[in-house]
Structure 1
Amino acid sequence: MADDQMSSVIQTVEAVKPRIIIAASGSVAAIKFEILCRCFTEWAEVKAVVTKSALHFIDKASLPNDVTVYTDEDEWSTWKKLSDGVLHIELRKWADAMIIAPLSANTLAKIAGGLCDNLLTCIIRAWDYSKPLYVAPAMNTLMWSNPFTKKHLEAIRELGITMIPPITKRLACGDYGNGAMAEPSAIYTAVRLSFPKGQ
Protein backbone atom coordinates (compact mmCIF):
# COMPACT_ATOMS: atom_id res chain seq x y z
CA MET A 1 0.00 0.00 0.00
CA ALA A 2 1.36 3.43 -0.95
CA ASP A 3 2.17 5.97 1.77
CA ASP A 4 -0.63 8.33 0.69
CA GLN A 5 -3.18 5.47 0.75
CA MET A 6 -1.98 4.43 4.21
CA SER A 7 -2.25 8.03 5.40
CA SER A 8 -5.82 8.20 4.06
CA VAL A 9 -6.77 4.99 5.89
CA ILE A 10 -5.25 6.28 9.14
CA GLN A 11 -7.12 9.59 8.83
CA THR A 12 -10.38 7.74 8.19
CA VAL A 13 -9.89 5.52 11.24
CA GLU A 14 -8.97 8.54 13.38
CA ALA A 15 -12.05 10.42 12.16
CA VAL A 16 -14.46 7.73 13.37
CA LYS A 17 -15.98 9.00 16.58
CA PRO A 18 -17.47 6.70 19.20
CA ARG A 19 -21.26 6.82 19.42
CA ILE A 20 -22.45 7.63 22.92
CA ILE A 21 -25.88 7.94 24.48
CA ILE A 22 -25.88 10.42 27.35
CA ALA A 23 -28.99 10.09 29.49
CA ALA A 24 -30.45 12.07 32.37
CA SER A 25 -32.94 10.97 34.99
CA GLY A 26 -34.87 13.13 37.45
CA SER A 27 -32.39 14.87 39.71
CA VAL A 28 -31.61 18.55 40.16
CA ALA A 29 -28.11 17.66 38.94
CA ALA A 30 -29.67 17.47 35.46
CA ILE A 31 -29.10 21.25 35.31
CA LYS A 32 -25.53 20.26 34.34
CA PHE A 33 -26.69 18.05 31.45
CA GLU A 34 -25.95 20.67 28.80
CA ILE A 35 -22.37 21.03 30.08
CA LEU A 36 -21.96 17.26 30.13
CA CYS A 37 -23.15 16.91 26.53
CA ARG A 38 -20.77 19.68 25.42
CA CYS A 39 -17.85 17.89 27.12
CA PHE A 40 -18.41 14.87 24.88
CA THR A 41 -19.42 16.33 21.50
CA GLU A 42 -15.91 17.09 20.27
CA TRP A 43 -14.75 13.51 20.93
CA ALA A 44 -17.94 11.53 20.29
CA GLU A 45 -21.16 11.47 18.33
CA VAL A 46 -23.80 12.07 21.01
CA LYS A 47 -27.50 11.31 21.29
CA ALA A 48 -29.36 12.34 24.44
CA VAL A 49 -32.14 10.53 26.29
CA VAL A 50 -34.02 12.37 29.02
CA THR A 51 -36.78 11.15 31.30
CA LYS A 52 -39.96 13.11 31.91
CA SER A 53 -38.77 14.19 35.35
CA ALA A 54 -35.34 15.22 34.00
CA LEU A 55 -37.09 17.66 31.65
CA HIS A 56 -37.97 19.79 34.70
CA PHE A 57 -34.26 20.72 34.87
CA ILE A 58 -33.18 20.63 31.21
CA ASP A 59 -33.79 23.22 28.51
CA LYS A 60 -33.64 21.10 25.35
CA ALA A 61 -32.96 24.22 23.27
CA SER A 62 -29.72 24.83 25.19
CA LEU A 63 -28.18 21.51 24.13
CA PRO A 64 -25.64 21.45 21.28
CA ASN A 65 -27.30 21.56 17.84
CA ASP A 66 -25.70 18.28 16.77
CA VAL A 67 -27.19 16.37 19.74
CA THR A 68 -30.53 14.71 19.04
CA VAL A 69 -32.69 14.56 22.16
CA TYR A 70 -35.13 11.69 22.76
CA THR A 71 -37.89 11.61 25.37
CA ASP A 72 -40.43 9.03 26.46
CA GLU A 73 -42.90 10.44 23.93
CA ASP A 74 -40.52 9.49 21.11
CA GLU A 75 -40.50 5.80 22.09
CA TRP A 76 -43.50 4.80 19.98
CA SER A 77 -44.11 7.88 17.82
CA THR A 78 -42.33 6.46 14.76
CA TRP A 79 -43.64 2.92 15.15
CA LYS A 80 -46.60 2.27 12.84
CA LYS A 81 -46.26 -1.38 11.74
CA LEU A 82 -44.36 -4.55 12.55
CA SER A 83 -41.39 -3.84 10.29
CA ASP A 84 -40.76 -0.40 11.84
CA GLY A 85 -37.85 0.05 14.22
CA VAL A 86 -38.40 0.33 17.96
CA LEU A 87 -36.52 3.32 19.35
CA HIS A 88 -34.97 1.76 22.46
CA ILE A 89 -33.63 -1.14 20.36
CA GLU A 90 -32.38 1.16 17.60
CA LEU A 91 -30.57 3.39 20.10
CA ARG A 92 -29.01 0.39 21.82
CA LYS A 93 -27.76 -0.92 18.46
CA TRP A 94 -26.41 2.52 17.48
CA ALA A 95 -24.45 3.19 20.66
CA ASP A 96 -20.90 2.14 21.49
CA ALA A 97 -21.42 3.24 25.09
CA MET A 98 -23.96 4.87 27.39
CA ILE A 99 -23.68 7.30 30.30
CA ILE A 100 -26.49 8.05 32.74
CA ALA A 101 -25.74 11.32 34.51
CA PRO A 102 -27.46 12.10 36.72
CA LEU A 103 -28.68 8.71 37.88
CA SER A 104 -31.45 9.34 40.40
CA ALA A 105 -32.28 7.02 43.30
CA ASN A 106 -35.52 6.13 41.52
CA THR A 107 -33.87 5.18 38.22
CA LEU A 108 -31.14 3.28 40.08
CA ALA A 109 -33.84 1.21 41.81
CA LYS A 110 -35.59 0.58 38.48
CA ILE A 111 -32.40 -0.64 36.80
CA ALA A 112 -31.49 -2.85 39.78
CA GLY A 113 -34.97 -4.38 39.68
CA GLY A 114 -35.08 -4.82 35.90
CA LEU A 115 -37.98 -2.41 35.44
CA CYS A 116 -38.43 -0.79 32.05
CA ASP A 117 -41.27 1.72 32.12
CA ASN A 118 -39.71 4.56 30.11
CA LEU A 119 -37.34 5.02 27.17
CA LEU A 120 -34.22 5.17 29.34
CA THR A 121 -34.94 2.01 31.32
CA CYS A 122 -36.03 0.15 28.17
CA ILE A 123 -32.62 0.89 26.63
CA ILE A 124 -30.93 -0.43 29.79
CA ARG A 125 -33.08 -3.57 29.85
CA ALA A 126 -32.11 -4.23 26.20
CA TRP A 127 -28.45 -3.20 26.69
CA ASP A 128 -25.58 -5.30 25.31
CA TYR A 129 -23.30 -5.47 28.35
CA SER A 130 -20.25 -6.12 26.20
CA LYS A 131 -20.45 -2.34 25.63
CA PRO A 132 -19.49 0.13 28.39
CA LEU A 133 -22.28 1.60 30.50
CA TYR A 134 -21.47 4.30 33.06
CA VAL A 135 -23.62 5.88 35.76
CA ALA A 136 -23.06 9.00 37.86
CA PRO A 137 -25.48 8.89 40.81
CA ALA A 138 -26.97 12.07 42.27
CA MET A 139 -29.20 12.12 45.33
CA ASN A 140 -29.58 13.44 48.86
CA THR A 141 -27.02 12.18 51.39
CA LEU A 142 -29.56 10.11 53.33
CA MET A 143 -30.83 8.58 50.09
CA TRP A 144 -27.22 7.77 49.14
CA SER A 145 -26.54 6.10 52.50
CA ASN A 146 -29.85 4.20 52.52
CA PRO A 147 -29.43 0.39 52.70
CA PHE A 148 -31.53 -0.01 49.54
CA THR A 149 -29.01 2.11 47.62
CA LYS A 150 -26.20 -0.24 48.65
CA LYS A 151 -28.22 -3.26 47.42
CA HIS A 152 -29.09 -1.52 44.17
CA LEU A 153 -25.46 -0.56 43.52
CA GLU A 154 -24.40 -4.17 44.08
CA ALA A 155 -27.04 -5.31 41.58
CA ILE A 156 -25.86 -2.95 38.85
CA ARG A 157 -22.20 -3.79 39.51
CA GLU A 158 -23.07 -7.43 38.82
CA LEU A 159 -24.37 -6.34 35.41
CA GLY A 160 -20.99 -4.77 34.65
CA ILE A 161 -22.13 -1.16 34.96
CA THR A 162 -19.33 1.25 35.93
CA MET A 163 -20.13 3.80 38.62
CA ILE A 164 -18.58 7.25 38.68
CA PRO A 165 -19.00 8.00 42.40
CA PRO A 166 -20.81 11.03 43.77
CA ILE A 167 -18.96 13.75 45.63
CA THR A 168 -19.34 15.46 48.99
CA LYS A 169 -20.49 19.09 48.93
CA ARG A 170 -23.42 21.34 49.80
CA LEU A 171 -26.42 19.83 48.02
CA ALA A 172 -29.26 21.69 46.31
CA CYS A 173 -31.50 21.00 49.33
CA GLY A 174 -29.02 22.79 51.61
CA ASP A 175 -27.64 19.67 53.30
CA TYR A 176 -23.90 19.06 53.28
CA GLY A 177 -22.77 15.53 52.49
CA ASN A 178 -22.07 12.85 49.93
CA GLY A 179 -24.46 12.33 47.03
CA ALA A 180 -23.77 15.17 44.60
CA MET A 181 -23.14 14.11 41.00
CA ALA A 182 -19.51 14.19 39.93
CA GLU A 183 -18.65 17.28 37.88
CA PRO A 184 -19.17 16.92 34.09
CA SER A 185 -15.42 17.27 33.46
CA ALA A 186 -14.72 14.45 35.93
CA ILE A 187 -17.34 12.24 34.25
CA TYR A 188 -15.79 12.94 30.85
CA THR A 189 -12.30 12.13 32.16
CA ALA A 190 -13.45 8.90 33.82
CA VAL A 191 -15.13 7.71 30.62
CA ARG A 192 -12.19 8.64 28.38
CA LEU A 193 -9.66 6.94 30.67
CA SER A 194 -11.63 3.70 30.84
CA PHE A 195 -12.91 3.67 27.26
CA PRO A 196 -11.54 0.96 24.96
CA LYS A 197 -8.28 2.08 23.37
CA GLY A 198 -8.37 3.35 19.82
CA GLN A 199 -11.57 5.32 20.34
Structure 2
Amino acid sequence: MLAIAAFHDYEIWQMDVKTAFLNGKLKEDVYMTQPEGFVTSDNAGKVCKLQTSIYGLKQASRSWNLRFNDAIKQFGFIRNEYEPCVYKKISGSIVSFLILYVDDILLIGNDIPTLQSVKTWFINCFSMKDLGEPTYILGVNIYTDRSRRLLGLSQSTYIDKVLKRFSMEESKKGFLSMSHGISLSKEMCPSTP
Protein backbone atom coordinates (compact mmCIF):
# COMPACT_ATOMS: atom_id res chain seq x y z
CA MET A 1 0.00 0.00 0.00
CA LEU A 2 1.38 3.39 -0.96
CA ALA A 3 -0.20 6.74 -0.22
CA ILE A 4 1.26 9.72 -2.04
CA ALA A 5 0.41 13.35 -1.46
CA ALA A 6 1.62 16.51 -3.15
CA PHE A 7 3.08 19.04 -0.75
CA HIS A 8 4.40 22.49 -1.22
CA ASP A 9 7.70 23.32 0.46
CA TYR A 10 8.15 21.01 3.43
CA GLU A 11 10.94 19.40 5.40
CA ILE A 12 10.87 16.19 7.46
CA TRP A 13 13.55 15.17 9.96
CA GLN A 14 13.94 12.29 12.35
CA MET A 15 15.56 12.61 15.76
CA ASP A 16 16.25 10.20 18.58
CA VAL A 17 16.41 11.05 22.28
CA LYS A 18 19.37 9.26 23.84
CA THR A 19 18.54 7.53 27.14
CA ALA A 20 15.05 9.07 27.12
CA PHE A 21 13.81 7.33 30.28
CA LEU A 22 16.64 8.85 32.34
CA ASN A 23 15.15 12.31 31.67
CA GLY A 24 11.96 11.66 33.64
CA LYS A 25 11.30 13.38 36.94
CA LEU A 26 9.82 11.19 39.68
CA LYS A 27 6.75 12.61 41.41
CA GLU A 28 6.87 10.13 44.29
CA ASP A 29 9.58 8.64 46.48
CA VAL A 30 11.06 5.51 44.90
CA TYR A 31 13.60 3.31 46.67
CA MET A 32 15.72 0.45 45.33
CA THR A 33 18.18 -2.04 46.73
CA GLN A 34 21.79 -1.02 46.34
CA PRO A 35 23.39 -2.00 43.02
CA GLU A 36 25.84 -4.88 43.01
CA GLY A 37 29.37 -3.68 43.87
CA PHE A 38 28.04 -0.53 45.57
CA VAL A 39 27.51 -1.99 49.05
CA THR A 40 30.22 -1.30 51.63
CA SER A 41 30.41 -2.26 55.30
CA ASP A 42 29.18 1.24 56.37
CA ASN A 43 26.06 1.17 54.21
CA ALA A 44 25.08 -2.53 54.28
CA GLY A 45 21.35 -2.96 54.79
CA LYS A 46 20.54 0.50 53.38
CA VAL A 47 18.55 1.31 50.24
CA CYS A 48 18.94 4.01 47.58
CA LYS A 49 16.39 6.77 47.06
CA LEU A 50 16.12 7.58 43.34
CA GLN A 51 16.30 11.23 42.36
CA THR A 52 15.38 10.69 38.70
CA SER A 53 13.82 7.93 36.68
CA ILE A 54 15.85 4.91 35.54
CA TYR A 55 15.21 2.15 33.02
CA GLY A 56 13.20 -0.72 34.45
CA LEU A 57 10.89 1.39 36.61
CA LYS A 58 7.22 1.00 35.85
CA GLN A 59 6.98 4.82 36.08
CA ALA A 60 9.86 5.42 33.62
CA SER A 61 7.91 5.77 30.37
CA ARG A 62 5.17 7.90 31.96
CA SER A 63 7.63 10.23 33.70
CA TRP A 64 9.58 10.66 30.42
CA ASN A 65 6.38 11.43 28.54
CA LEU A 66 5.31 14.03 31.11
CA ARG A 67 8.76 15.64 31.02
CA PHE A 68 8.73 15.77 27.21
CA ASN A 69 5.19 17.19 27.17
CA ASP A 70 6.14 19.99 29.59
CA ALA A 71 9.28 20.79 27.61
CA ILE A 72 7.67 20.90 24.16
CA LYS A 73 4.82 23.08 25.41
CA GLN A 74 7.40 25.63 26.58
CA PHE A 75 8.50 25.92 22.94
CA GLY A 76 4.91 26.72 21.89
CA PHE A 77 3.73 23.35 20.60
CA ILE A 78 0.18 22.23 21.35
CA ARG A 79 -0.65 18.57 22.01
CA ASN A 80 -3.35 17.03 19.84
CA GLU A 81 -6.37 16.19 21.96
CA TYR A 82 -7.12 12.94 20.12
CA GLU A 83 -3.56 11.79 19.34
CA PRO A 84 -1.42 12.67 22.38
CA CYS A 85 1.81 11.80 20.58
CA VAL A 86 1.19 14.49 17.93
CA TYR A 87 2.00 18.15 18.53
CA LYS A 88 1.59 21.21 16.31
CA LYS A 89 2.79 24.78 16.24
CA ILE A 90 1.30 27.36 13.90
CA SER A 91 2.61 30.88 13.50
CA GLY A 92 1.01 32.68 10.57
CA SER A 93 1.76 30.61 7.47
CA ILE A 94 4.48 28.60 9.25
CA VAL A 95 3.27 25.17 10.33
CA SER A 96 5.27 22.59 12.29
CA PHE A 97 4.25 19.12 13.45
CA LEU A 98 6.07 16.89 15.88
CA ILE A 99 5.31 13.20 16.27
CA LEU A 100 6.73 11.35 19.28
CA TYR A 101 6.98 7.58 19.61
CA VAL A 102 8.74 6.75 22.90
CA ASP A 103 12.14 8.30 22.10
CA ASP A 104 11.81 8.72 18.32
CA ILE A 105 10.71 12.08 16.94
CA LEU A 106 9.53 13.09 13.49
CA LEU A 107 9.64 16.82 12.90
CA ILE A 108 7.71 18.08 9.87
CA GLY A 109 7.13 21.62 8.72
CA ASN A 110 7.13 24.15 5.94
CA ASP A 111 9.86 26.48 7.23
CA ILE A 112 13.44 25.21 7.54
CA PRO A 113 14.69 27.97 9.92
CA THR A 114 11.81 27.22 12.31
CA LEU A 115 12.53 23.49 12.24
CA GLN A 116 16.23 24.19 12.75
CA SER A 117 15.42 26.28 15.82
CA VAL A 118 13.28 23.43 17.20
CA LYS A 119 16.17 20.99 16.65
CA THR A 120 18.65 23.34 18.34
CA TRP A 121 16.26 23.82 21.26
CA PHE A 122 15.87 20.02 21.60
CA ILE A 123 19.62 19.51 21.64
CA ASN A 124 19.85 22.04 24.49
CA CYS A 125 17.09 20.27 26.47
CA PHE A 126 17.96 16.62 25.89
CA SER A 127 20.80 14.52 24.57
CA MET A 128 19.67 14.02 20.97
CA LYS A 129 20.82 12.29 17.83
CA ASP A 130 19.85 13.89 14.52
CA LEU A 131 19.00 11.06 12.12
CA GLY A 132 18.36 13.35 9.14
CA GLU A 133 15.60 12.74 6.64
CA PRO A 134 13.76 9.51 7.51
CA THR A 135 13.25 6.67 5.07
CA TYR A 136 11.69 4.14 7.47
CA ILE A 137 10.00 4.48 10.87
CA LEU A 138 7.58 2.26 12.80
CA GLY A 139 6.97 -0.10 9.90
CA VAL A 140 6.33 2.71 7.41
CA ASN A 141 8.60 3.40 4.43
CA ILE A 142 8.82 7.11 3.64
CA TYR A 143 9.51 8.16 0.06
CA THR A 144 10.25 11.72 -1.01
CA ASP A 145 10.58 13.18 -4.48
CA ARG A 146 11.46 16.83 -3.97
CA SER A 147 11.54 17.65 -7.68
CA ARG A 148 7.85 16.67 -7.94
CA ARG A 149 7.05 17.81 -4.37
CA LEU A 150 5.79 14.38 -3.36
CA LEU A 151 5.80 12.56 -0.06
CA GLY A 152 4.82 8.89 -0.07
CA LEU A 153 4.13 6.43 2.73
CA SER A 154 4.12 2.66 2.32
CA GLN A 155 3.42 -0.17 4.75
CA SER A 156 4.15 -2.93 2.24
CA THR A 157 7.01 -4.39 4.33
CA TYR A 158 4.76 -4.56 7.40
CA ILE A 159 1.88 -6.05 5.42
CA ASP A 160 4.18 -8.71 3.94
CA LYS A 161 5.42 -9.54 7.47
CA VAL A 162 1.83 -9.97 8.74
CA LEU A 163 0.89 -12.12 5.74
CA LYS A 164 3.91 -14.34 6.34
CA ARG A 165 3.09 -14.63 10.06
CA PHE A 166 -0.36 -16.01 9.20
CA SER A 167 0.92 -18.14 6.27
CA MET A 168 -0.95 -15.99 3.77
CA GLU A 169 1.97 -14.74 1.65
CA GLU A 170 0.56 -16.53 -1.43
CA SER A 171 -2.87 -14.91 -1.08
CA LYS A 172 -4.32 -12.87 -3.92
CA LYS A 173 -3.53 -9.16 -3.70
CA GLY A 174 -6.02 -6.48 -4.64
CA PHE A 175 -6.52 -2.74 -4.54
CA LEU A 176 -8.14 -0.77 -1.77
CA SER A 177 -11.27 1.18 -2.58
CA MET A 178 -9.35 4.42 -2.69
CA SER A 179 -8.42 6.64 -5.59
CA HIS A 180 -4.83 6.51 -6.79
CA GLY A 181 -2.69 9.63 -7.14
CA ILE A 182 -4.72 11.88 -4.86
CA SER A 183 -3.24 15.37 -4.58
CA LEU A 184 -3.95 17.01 -1.23
CA SER A 185 -4.00 20.76 -0.71
CA LYS A 186 -4.54 23.20 2.12
CA GLU A 187 -7.93 24.17 0.63
CA MET A 188 -9.13 20.58 1.12
CA CYS A 189 -8.51 20.70 4.88
CA PRO A 190 -11.53 21.09 7.16
CA SER A 191 -11.71 24.50 8.73
CA THR A 192 -13.44 26.02 11.74
CA PRO A 193 -13.92 29.61 12.84
TM class, shorter-length: under 0.3
TM-score, structure 1 length as denominator? 0.26
Q: Whose strand proportion is higher, 1 or 2?
A: 2
Higher helix share goes to which structure?
1
TM-score by length of 2: 0.26
Higher RCO (Cα < 8 Å, 6 or more apart): 2
Highest Rg: 1 or 2? 2
